[in-house]
Structure 1
Amino acid sequence: MSQALYRKWRPRLWDQVVGQEPVVKTLQNAIRSERVGHAYLFAGPRGTGKTTTARLLAKAVNCLSDDLSHRPCDECENCRAVNENRFLDLIEIDAASNTSVDDMRDLRDKINFSPTQGKFKIYIIDEVHMLSTAAFNALLKTLEEPPPHAIFILATTEIHKIPATVLSRCQRHEFRRIPVAEITGRLRELAESEKISVDDNALTLISRQSTGSMRDAISLLDQLSSTGEHVDLALTQTVLGTAALQAVVDMVDTILDENTALSLQVIHKALDGGSDARQLARQMVDYLRNLLQIKVGNAQIVDATMENREKMTRQAELFQIHRLVDVIRLFNTAAGETRSTWNPGLHLELAVVAAVESAKSAPVLTPAAEPEVSLRDMKMPAFQGSKRPASTPAIKADGADHKTETIHADDTTADAPPVMEKAVPLEQADIPANVQPEQVSITLDELKNAWPQIRSTVRKAKAQTEALLNSVKNISIEDGRLVLSFASDIVKQKMEMDDNMEMTRRAIYHVLKANMQIACTVVNNRMAKTENNEISREGLVTTALNLGGQIRKK
């Protein structure tokens, strides 16, 4: 039986370890200075060299070479014994199958025996996060104060599961994912040595599919070489179940063209051709991520041919950043959910339909809502009458018989509250105190339909104000005044501070060309949800509602 390539080509010297230079340099310096620790913790993704580095460290501390800088020498008896898996003082324990406290107690009892071949007895505990809590507790004292001849090397892919008491007793080394370029270079050397005929673009695809794992990449190459054919890109795509790049490009084009039917046809054609739905979703995420990098000005880090780069640049120019981010999220979710569904292509189809239909339903910016607008520099018409600040107190009920039109803020489009910004002083416009407000020509429906656009306009000028508008419970028009109702007096007072109300007034004027006074009030939650919007805001009615009363229809 032939040996797997990843085992045959396991590094035997420090220089052969790929992509982990910081860790290797640290361990080499520890060996040269004879300051090797008693416990190490290697953490990182699978296939990045944790167990291999642990075996190299075991070889180095037991190497018989006189030159410390050349350990391991890979030539002495101890080094050869480690390579041939017959070194008695190297004990590898699989924590996944030795999870009980009895296993750790057995280790603790045997660790006191002196080494038989080398100077140190090395314990490599792989997947250490699989140990039970009782097993960790049984190991703590031995891990903190082991015998002078014992060295522990713990390896894990899920370091967040390791107790803090164990972490504090070990030297921790993080293993990173190996870059695509380094994996490709290593695979090329291996293919030449094994006389495997393979194209460079096939090696690049294998490196990408391995997601930073050298072991996975070598295993994929081993799998492809067993076909006995020349390994080209087409064969690699067929064996790995990946779609051709053209399918991904076509799918992005159909999303930009907002053609749902053609998008689904592209998916079905790719799946019928043997592509895996999850792999296709991953390819879409990777391709869209590259478009995002180009969009934000990082085209130099995108690994693509000149022809593909030009195509990607043209597609990136047609995307808006926020829409591109949303599409990436859709396909990233699909890539994670396709594993657990009975229909692998379902989530991919849903992601495509959502990406296309969301673009169709997205509101089109009118000239009045263009980002270039500056509310602070806008010229506002002045009210007639005496002057008072725009931050007027809440309207008091005076018993007048007038009609009130109210809409609920919950019925409008609710945007996520933005990050609070520092308030900037603004000269507020004058509002009359002793005259009736100007007659406003807009209707309640017009205000309701324009409210998301008004908030969007306010957000571009002052995000703090838009965050306060997000807390509005009711919006009503009373005698030409816009009344903003809040559930809390604290939020109402914040809205009346600084230039928040003036910013809102300017945004309304900018969108609807209506110069409205604005006032704030506090309402009870039950009052905010009442369905009777035609009852006037008389003092007794308002008081009763604030105390918990309800309006009942006969």
Structure 2
Amino acid sequence: MASQSLYRKWRSQTFAELIGQEHVVQTLRNAIIEERVAHAYLFTGPRGVGKTTMARLLAKAVNCTDPNPAARPCGQCPACVAIAEGRAVDVIEMDAASHTSVEDAREIIERVQFRPAEMRSKVYIIDETHMLSTAAFNALLKTLEEPPDHAIFILATTEVHKVPATILSRCQRFTFTRHGIAATSNHLRQIASAEGLSLEAGVPEAIARAATGSMRDALGVLEQLASFGQGMITLEQVHSLLGMTAAAEVHALIEALLDADVGAALRAVNGVSEQGADVRQFTRDVVERLRTLLLFRATNDRSLLDVGEDELRNLEVWAQRAEPGDLVEWIKLLSGLDYQLRTTPYGHLPLELAVVEALVAPKRPEVSVAPRPSPKRSEPARRPEPSAAAPEPPRQREPDPPPEIVIETVIMPVAPEVLDQAAPPPRAARGLSASPEEFQAANADMSLLERIEAEWDEIKRNVRPHSPTVQALLNSIRPIDVEGNTIVLLASSPFHKDNLERASNTKLVEQVINKQLGGNFAIRCTIETKPEARDIRGQIRHARNDEHVRAALNIFEARIVDIEEETD
């Protein structure tokens, strides 16, 4: 015989046993004591927070035979026991997900007219109410508005926005909230103790955090962990089961941020990657911890925190070292990484760059990315003095890789026309002259090309619903250049080029690309690869492929303003 699951075994049998939802409990208790129970209720909220349990408790309370209304449901009288064991014929539970038709609603309407067989009230509990069809909702309207005196309807749903307003207006609505980490972890400890399970320190909090407020999910995870084997349930087992990132790395990264230790921060990030853990989830965990720290640092109010005792002690130590301004910047920086980490072809690189920026960039209001020029290098000719109204941003040069890449970034907001005035005069690059406008256009084209290359697989997937043939065609085609509003594609053979250049195929690909990029681009296909580009566009593209240059461009939102020939 199958054993009973923990969430069913430990389902609350009285209002006093219920974890959380105090606002609902207090209101329903008062209604029972004062005999003002409504004829229809609507319980809304996330899954696993106690909506169905509360519905059963209310069904018990209205049928409990305890002489003291304040003690109902007592959990011991024949009515309470029958409902708890699921054999009360006057308490009808229906899953709307599998009973959506108007015939099901009409069956309820017909049966509701008969008086209870054994109890004081007949209670209908309709779970996942939002799954009912429109016709079923319409059939129930009149009955919900004026049910017989002996009938009570309790509707439960996780998606209240799908319930018609006509139904909402006929019910007393209660919104259930997610269980806090502290409440969930305490409940897990009590159940583990009663079940003879030994939990390592931090395990209840880790389970509670993974359950995201669902007590049912938390108990399900605890039950899975209990089946791993004999002995203590460890944090390592929790992380293995749930694919979570170790709390140690989250702790290590926050410590490194507070210590301004770039090396330690990068080691923490790489530790997560080496574990094979989800870097996006790790980043979310860090953001959530930083948010909690900011809240505590700004208010010093423990009642606002949803954390366990162990984490509270960490927060108290961190709060003495953290500055609110730094916390705000870190949260902004890391909370914007989710999309990049999902789409980047470079693994956890966006997180590494964000960590470096978090610790380095705020300390340098104006930054030039380049070491001092080598002593062997001849000094360049002095530039003309800029106007007093627009001081020239500092510029240095990197001596090692030929040609020299000069990267410039200005964090202070400056009007475009002022930047144009302050821009350096054009220089010779491998014998070619380029103006600041040409550099700006080339930078924009190469940035767009990098984005197209990163999103090319997604573009191909988006083509498939319109034409699987064209999608297959694009598997032999790749983007190689951007020329203003024209995207240049390289085909592997004349066959692929000719097929892509058919008007209907070209139009389809352009539509998908424009929707993906949010622009108005045309495509041009070629089967010839260009020789090594010697113009400024080719040199900028070559420079942007250098990992150091790319890191500088991403961290400081910089732009390449000059490329210089290396001289001895």
Q: What letter corresponds to residue 101 of structure 2 in structure 1?
A: S
Distance change >3 Å, CA 244–CA 442, structure 1 → 2 = same
- CA apart distance, 1:231: 1.6
CA contact (8 A) 1:285 1:331 kept: no
Checking the alignment, whether the CA contact within 8 Å between 1:128 and 1:155 is kept in structure 2 is: yes
Q: Is the 8 A contact 1:444 1:477 kept in 2?
A: no
Partner of 2:82: 81
Letter in 2 for 1:6: Y
Tell me the alpha carbon deviations over residues 259-287 of structure 1, each in whole angstroms, 9 at most, x when there is no partner. Answer: 98976654443244353445423322222
1:13–1:310 CA distance, 2 compared to 1 (3 A)? closer
Give the distance between the partners of 1:230 and 1:258, measured in 2 at CA.
37
Q: Which residue of 2 aligns with 1:173?
A: 174
- 1:330 corresponds, among 318, 333, 336, to 336
1:246-285 residue pairs with structure 2 within 5 A? 246-252=248-254, 266-273=268-275, 275-285=277-287
Contact persistence 1:330–1:355 (CA under 8 A) = no
In structure 2, the residue matched to 1:218 is 219
CA gap of 1:356–1:187, structure 2 versus 1, over 3 A, is: same
Contact 1:201/1:233 (<8 A) preserved:
yes
User: Which letter does structure 2 place at the counterpart of 1:356?
Assistant: V
Evaluate the alpha carbon distance shift between residue 475 and residue 327 of structure 1 in structure 2; reply closer, same or farther with a 3 A threshold: closer
What secondary structure, in the 3-state scheme, does the structure 2 residue paired with 1:212 have? Answer: coil
Letter paired with 2:172:
Q
Which amino acid is 2:249 matched to? A
CA distance in 2 between counterparts of 1:182 and 1:321 reads: 27
Cα distance, 1:329–1:450 mapped onto 2, change above 3 Å: closer
**1:319 to 1:331, Cα distance in 2 relative to 1, 3 A:** farther
Q: Which amino acid aligns with 1:80?
A: V
Partner of 1:33: 34
For residues 238 and 476 of structure 1, the distance between their equivalents in structure 2, rounded to whole angstroms, comes to 53
Give the distance between the partners of 1:242 and 1:200, measured in 2 at CA. Answer: 16
> Which of these residues, 240, 246, 265, is aligned with residue 238 of structure 1?
240
Distance 1:349 1:73 in 2: 59
Measured in 1, the distance between the counterparts of 2:9 and 2:173 equals: 28
Contact 1:124-1:155 within 8 A present in 2 as well: yes
Q: What is aligned with 1:317? A: 323
Instruction: Give matches, 1:362-511, under 5 Å.
Output: 364-365=364-365, 441-442=387-388, 453=412
- Matched residue SS, 1:230: coil
Q: Following the alignment from structure 2 to structure 1, what is the Cα–Cα distance between the partners of residues 294 and 409? A: 31
**Unmatched tracts of structure 2, length 5 or more:** 367-385, 394-407, 422-568
1:209 is displaced (CA, Å) by: 2.2
AA matched with 1:220: V
Deviation at 1:204, TM superposition (A): 2.3
Unaligned stretches of 5+ residues in structure 1: 367-439, 456-471, 479-554
Tell me the alpha carbon deviations over residues 9-62 of structure 1, each in whole angstroms, 9 at most, x when there is no partner.
101111001111221111111112221110001112222111001001111112
The counterpart of 2:300, out of the listed 292, 298, 317, is 298
Taking the aligned partners of 1:298 and 1:475, their CA distance within structure 2 comes to: 45
Distance verdict in 2 for CA 1:214–1:312, change over 3 Å: same
The 3 A distance-change label for structure 1 pair 234 and 314 is farther
Please list the CA deviations of residues 223-249 of structure 1 after superposition, one character each: whole Å capped at 9, or x if unmatched: 212222212333333333323333123
Query: Alpha-carbon deviation of 1:76?
Result: 2.3
Distance 1:198 1:86 in 2: 36
Q: Is the 8 A contact 2:334 2:351 kept in 1?
A: no
Show the counterpart of 1:483.
none
Measure the CA separation in 1 of the matches of 2:322 and 2:296.
7
Cα distance in structure 2, aligned partners of 1:74 and 1:307: 39
2:100 maps to 1:99 = yes
Aligned position for 2:196: 195
The 8 Å contact of residues 198 and 233 in structure 2, kept in 1 or not, is answered as yes
Mapped partners of 2:103, 2:416: distance in 1? 62
Aligned to 2:144: 143
In 2, are the aligned partners of 1:180 and 1:207 still within 8 Å (CA)? yes
Per-residue CA deviations over 1:338-359 (Å, capped at 9, x if unaligned) read: 5xx799x94x543443453476
Shift in CA distance, 67/142, structure 1 to aligned 2, threshold 3 Å = same
Change (3 A) 1:147 1:207: same
Distance 1:315 1:271, change over 3 A: farther
Residue of structure 2 equivalent to 1:53: 54
- Measure how far apart 1:94 and its partner are: 1.3
**Worse-matched range after superposition: 272-281 or 152-161:** 272-281
The structure having more radius of gyration, on CA atoms, is 1
Q: TM-score, normalization: structure 2? A: 0.59
Instruction: Tell me the secondary structure at the aligned position of residue 123 of structure 2.
Output: strand
Q: Is the 8 A contact 2:46 2:214 kept in 1?
A: yes
Given that residues 96 and 132 in structure 2 are in contact (C-alpha distance below 8 angstroms), is that contact kept between their aligned partners in structure 1? yes
In the alignment, residue 289 of structure 1 is paired with which amino acid?
Answer: R
Structure 2 residue 155 is the aligned partner of structure 1 residue 154: yes
CA drift of 1:146 comes to 1.4
Contact 1:59/1:72 (<8 A) preserved: yes
Is residue 298–residue 324 contact of structure 2 (8 Å, CA) maintained in 1? no
> What's the CA shift for 1:474?
7.5
The more displaced of 106-115 and 45-54 is 106-115
CA gap of 1:201–1:359, structure 2 versus 1, over 3 A, is closer
Say if 1:358 and 1:237 are closer, same or farther in 2 by CA, change over 3 A: closer
Counterpart code for 1:101: V
Q: How far apart, CA to CA, are the structure 2 residues paired with 1:266 and 1:290?
A: 20
* Distance (whole Å) between structure 1 residues aligned to residue 77 and residue 316 of structure 2: 55
Aligned length: 382
SS of residue in 1 equivalent to 2:202: helix
Superposed CA deviations along residues 349-383 of structure 1, whole A, max 9, x for unmatched, are 434434534765669447xxxxxxxxxxxxxxxxx
Structure 1 CA distance for aligned equivalents of residues 18 and 257 of structure 2 = 43
Offset, 1:216: 1.7
Partner Cα separation in structure 2 for residue 201 and residue 187 of structure 1: 12
- SS of match in other structure, 2:4: coil
The Cα shift of 1:194 comes to 1.2
Q: CA RMSD in A?
A: 3.7
What's the offset of the Cα at 1:123?
1.0
CA separation of 1:113/1:350 partners in 2, compared to 1, >3 Å: closer, same or farther? farther
* TM-score using structure 1 length: 0.60
2:49–2:176: 8 Å Cα contact kept in structure 1?
yes
Q: Give the Cα–Cα distance (whole angstroms) in 1 for the partners of residues 296 and 78 of structure 2.
A: 54
In the aligned structure 2, how far is the partner of 1:267 from the partner of 1:99?
49
SS at match of 1:238: helix
Query: Do structure 1's residue 356 and structure 2's residue 356 form an aligned pair?
Result: yes
Q: Could you tell me how far apart the structure 1 residues matched to 2:391 and 2:19 are?
A: 65
Change (3 A) 1:446 1:313: same
Instruction: Decide which moves more: 73-82 or 272-281.
Output: 272-281
Cα distance between partner residues in 2 of 1:249 and 1:272: 17
Shift of 1:171: 0.6
Using the alignment, how far apart are the partners of 2:281 and 2:392 within structure 1? 47
Q: Secondary structure at the match of 1:248?
A: helix
